[in-house]
A and B are shown apart, each in its own frame.
Chain A
Amino acid sequence: MGALLLLTACADTATMSKARDERAGFATVAGISRQATGAEAAWLQTPAERQAHAQRVRAIVQGKTIGAEQAVQVALLNNPGLQASYADLGMSAADLWETALGPVPSVGISVSGLVSGDVSRSVEGTVASSILDMVTKKSRTRAADLEFRQAQLAAAGETLALAHETRRTWIEAVGAFEAAGLVGRAQGAADAASELAAQLGETGALSRADQAREHVFTAELAAEQAEARLEAQLAKEKLVRLLGLWGTDTDFYVPDSLPALPGNVPNRANIERLALENRVDLAAGRLEMEAVAARYRLNGQTRMLSDAEVGAGVEIEREDGETERSPVVDVAFSIPVYDTSGLISRRGKLEYQRSANSLAQSAINARSEARSAYTAVTGKHQIALHWRDQVLPLRREIDEQALLSYNGMLTSTFELLNDAREGLESQLSAAEAKRDYWLAEADATAAIWGGASDNGEDE
Chain B
Amino acid sequence: MNRRQVMGAGIGAGAAALTVNMGQAETRFRDLPEAASTDSPYTQVPPRPTTGIEYNPVVTLNGWSLPYRMNGNVKEFHLVAEPVERIMADGMIARLWGYNGQSTGPTIEAIEGERVRIYVTNRLPEHTSVHWHGLILPSGMDGVSGLSHPGIPSGKTFVYEFDLVKSGTFMYHPHADEMVQMAMGMMGLFIVHPRDPAFMPVDRDFAFLLAAYDIDPGTYIPRVAEMTNFNLWTFNSRIFPDIDPLVVNQGDRVRVRVGNLTMTNHPVHMHGYDFEVTCTDGGWVRPEARWPEVSIDIPVGAMRAYEFDADHLGDWAIHCHKSHHTMNAMGHELPTIIGADKSRVTDMVRRHQPGYMSMGTAGMADMGEMSMEIPENTIPMMTGWGPHGPLEMGGMFSVVKVREGIAPDDYSDPGWYENPPGTQAWEWTGELPEHASNDSPETILTPRGGKRLG
Candidates A192, A195, A410, A412; contact of B352 at CB < 8 Å: A192
Within 8 A of B (CB), among A396-428: 399, 401-414, 416-417, 420
Question: Is B17 interfacial (CB-CB < 8 Å)?
Answer: no
Task: Of the listed stretches B95-103, B291-299, B375-383, name the one at the interface; the rest are far from the partner chain.
Answer: B375-383
User: Which residue of B331, B336, B341 has the most chain A CB atoms within 10 A of its CB atom?
Assistant: B331
User: Which residue of A185, A188, A189, A196 has the most chain B CB atoms within 10 A of its CB atom?
Assistant: A196
Contact A203–B360 (Cβ < 8 Å): no
Contact A206–B335 (Cβ < 8 Å): yes
Candidates B329, B333, B356, B364; contact of A406 at CB < 8 Å: B356
**A contact residues around B356 at 8 Å (CB):** 403, 406, 413, 416
- Closest beta carbon of chain A to B132's beta carbon, Å: 39
Contact B349–A410 (Cβ < 8 Å): no
Question: Is B218 interfacial (CB-CB < 8 Å)?
Answer: yes
Per the bound structure, the CA–CA distance linking A185 and B350 in Å amounts to: 12
Candidates B344, B353, B381; contact of A420 at CB < 8 Å: B353
Candidates B330, B336, B373; contact of A205 at CB < 8 Å: B336
**A contact residues around B373 at 8 Å (CB):** 404, 407
Per the bound structure, the CA–CA distance linking A195 and B372 in Å amounts to: 25
Interface 1/0s, chain B 213-228, versus A by CB < 8 A?
0000110000000000
Candidates B339, B344, B353, B367; contact of A203 at CB < 8 Å: B339
Contact B337–A189 (Cβ < 8 Å): no
Candidates B339, B348, B357; contact of A407 at CB < 8 Å: B357
Per the bound structure, the CA–CA distance linking A401 and B218 in Å amounts to: 9
Contact A412–B374 (Cβ < 8 Å): no
Question: Is B289 interfacial (CB-CB < 8 Å)?
Answer: no
Candidates A199, A399, A402; contact of B342 at CB < 8 Å: A199
User: Which residue of A185, A406, A414 has the most chain B CB atoms within 10 A of its CB atom?
Assistant: A406
Candidates A192, A206, A406, A409; contact of B330 at CB < 8 Å: A409
Contact A196–B381 (Cβ < 8 Å): no
Candidates B341, B349, B352, B364; contact of A409 at CB < 8 Å: B364
Contact A205–B348 (Cβ < 8 Å): no
Question: Is A202 interfacial (CB-CB < 8 Å)?
Answer: yes
Candidates B344, B359, B367, B375; contact of A405 at CB < 8 Å: B375
Candidates A200, A399, A401, A417; contact of B335 at CB < 8 Å: A200
**B contact residues around A401 at 8 Å (CB):** 218, 375
Question: Is B445 interfacial (CB-CB < 8 Å)?
Answer: no
Candidates B330, B342, B351, B353; contact of A410 at CB < 8 Å: B330
**B contact residues around A402 at 8 Å (CB):** 353
**A contact residues around B348 at 8 Å (CB):** 188, 191-192, 195
**B contact residues around A191 at 8 Å (CB):** 348
**A contact residues around B357 at 8 Å (CB):** 407
Known: A401-B218, A416-B349. A200 touches B330 (CB 8 A): no
- Closest beta carbon of chain B to A385's beta carbon, Å: 25
Contact A409–B334 (Cβ < 8 Å): yes
Kindly report which residue of chain B lies nearest to residue A201, judged by CB atoms.
Answer: B340
- Closest beta carbon of chain B to A431's beta carbon, Å: 17
Question: Is B345 interfacial (CB-CB < 8 Å)?
Answer: yes
Contact B340–A199 (Cβ < 8 Å): yes
Contact B374–A413 (Cβ < 8 Å): no
Question: Is B23 interfacial (CB-CB < 8 Å)?
Answer: no
Known: A195-B345, A196-B340. A189 touches B352 (CB 8 A): yes
Per the bound structure, the CA–CA distance linking A424 and B419 in Å amounts to: 56
Known: A205-B340, A413-B345. A407 touches B372 (CB 8 A): yes
Contact B372–A417 (Cβ < 8 Å): no
What number of A-B contacts does a CB cutoff of 8 Å give?
106
Kindly report which residue of chain B lies nearest to residue A423, judged by CB atoms.
Answer: B352
Interface 1/0s, chain B 297-336, versus A by CB < 8 A?
0000000000000000000000000000000011101111
- Closest beta carbon of chain A to B82's beta carbon, Å: 31
- Closest beta carbon of chain B to A266's beta carbon, Å: 37
Contact A409–B351 (Cβ < 8 Å): no
Contact A195–B337 (Cβ < 8 Å): no
Per the bound structure, the CA–CA distance linking A401 and B357 in Å amounts to: 14
Question: Is B338 interfacial (CB-CB < 8 Å)?
Answer: yes
Per the bound structure, the CA–CA distance linking A123 and B213 in Å amounts to: 67
Question: Is B355 interfacial (CB-CB < 8 Å)?
Answer: yes
Known: A189-B352, A408-B374. A414 touches B345 (CB 8 A): no
Per the bound structure, the CA–CA distance linking A401 and B359 in Å amounts to: 17
Interface 1/0s, chain A 274-313, versus B by CB < 8 A?
0000000000000000000000000000000000000000
**A contact residues around B345 at 8 Å (CB):** 192, 195-196, 199, 413
Known: A188-B348, A416-B356. A404 touches B338 (CB 8 A): no
**A contact residues around B380 at 8 Å (CB):** 408
Contact A414–B335 (Cβ < 8 Å): yes
- Closest beta carbon of chain B to A209's beta carbon, Å: 13
Contact B333–A205 (Cβ < 8 Å): no
Contact A196–B342 (Cβ < 8 Å): yes
Kindly report which residue of chain A lies nearest to residue B327, judged by CB atoms.
Answer: A409
**B contact residues around A413 at 8 Å (CB):** 337, 345, 349, 356
**B contact residues around A200 at 8 Å (CB):** 335-337, 340
Per the bound structure, the CA–CA distance linking A414 and B372 in Å amounts to: 19
Per the bound structure, the CA–CA distance linking A405 and B357 in Å amounts to: 12
**B contact residues around A411 at 8 Å (CB):** 331, 333-334
Kindly report which residue of chain B lies nearest to residue A401, judged by CB atoms.
Answer: B375
Interface 1/0s, chain B 373-411, versus A by CB < 8 A?
111001011000000000000000000000000000000
- Closest beta carbon of chain B to A325's beta carbon, Å: 67
**A contact residues around B374 at 8 Å (CB):** 404-405, 407-408, 410
Contact B352–A408 (Cβ < 8 Å): no
Per the bound structure, the CA–CA distance linking A191 and B352 in Å amounts to: 12
Per the bound structure, the CA–CA distance linking A402 and B351 in Å amounts to: 15
**A contact residues around B334 at 8 Å (CB):** 409, 411-412
Contact A412–B331 (Cβ < 8 Å): yes
Candidates A188, A399, A409, A417; contact of B359 at CB < 8 Å: A409
- Closest beta carbon of chain A to B198's beta carbon, Å: 52
Candidates A188, A399, A412, A420; contact of B333 at CB < 8 Å: A412
Candidates A206, A404, A408; contact of B381 at CB < 8 Å: A408
Interface 1/0s, chain B 185-224, versus A by CB < 8 A?
0000000000000000000000000000000011000000
Per the bound structure, the CA–CA distance linking A413 and B337 in Å amounts to: 10
Per the bound structure, the CA–CA distance linking A199 and B348 in Å amounts to: 14
**A contact residues around B367 at 8 Å (CB):** 409
Which residues of B come within 8 Å of A, CB atoms? 217-218, 329-331, 333-342, 344-345, 348-349, 351-353, 355-357, 359-360, 364, 367, 372-375, 378, 380-381
Can you list 22 pairs linking A and B with CB atoms under 8 Å apart? A185-B351, A191-B348, A196-B340, A196-B342, A199-B340, A200-B335, A200-B340, A202-B340, A205-B339, A205-B340, A403-B355, A404-B218, A404-B375, A405-B218, A405-B375, A407-B374, A408-B329, A409-B330, A411-B331, A413-B349, A413-B356, A416-B353
**In the complex, the 5 A-B pairs of residues with the closest C-beta atoms, listed nearest first:** A408-B374, A192-B348, A407-B372, A420-B352, A203-B339
Q: A203-B337, A410-B331, A413-B345 are in contact. List 10 more A-B contacts (CB 8 A).
A: A192-B352, A196-B340, A199-B342, A203-B340, A399-B353, A408-B217, A410-B375, A410-B381, A417-B349, A420-B353
